[in-house]
Amino acid sequence: MSLHAHYIMVEEKHTKLEQRIANELLRPSPDFAMLQTLKKQKLLLKEELARLRLVDKAHWTAA
């Protein structure tokens, strides 16, 4: 899988998690344990996206 394809895949997962979090918050009684888990997963994906941007930047700078 190319770097770009991996980035797009991670970005899509991040967007889906954002939507799941928003949907859970709209419920009359949100599951806060689930929200905490989803937010941690979202943060990990955000960190992965930042790492991929750095790798890509380093690749283009070295070229």
Within 13 Å and on the Cβ side, how many CA atoms surround 6?
A: 12
- More confident: 60 or 31: 31
pLDDT band at residue 56, thresholds of 50, 70 and 90?
confident
Residue numbers of the domain that contains 46: 3-62
H or E element that contains 11: helix 3-26
**Number of independent structural domains in the chain:** 1
pLDDT band at residue 27, thresholds of 50, 70 and 90?
very high
Within 13 Å and on the Cβ side, how many CA atoms surround 55?
A: 11
Q: Rounded CA gap, 48 and 34, in Å?
A: 21
> Is the pLDDT at 62 greater than 80, yes or no?
no
| pTM score of the predicted model | 0.85
> Is the pLDDT at 63 greater than 80, yes or no?
no
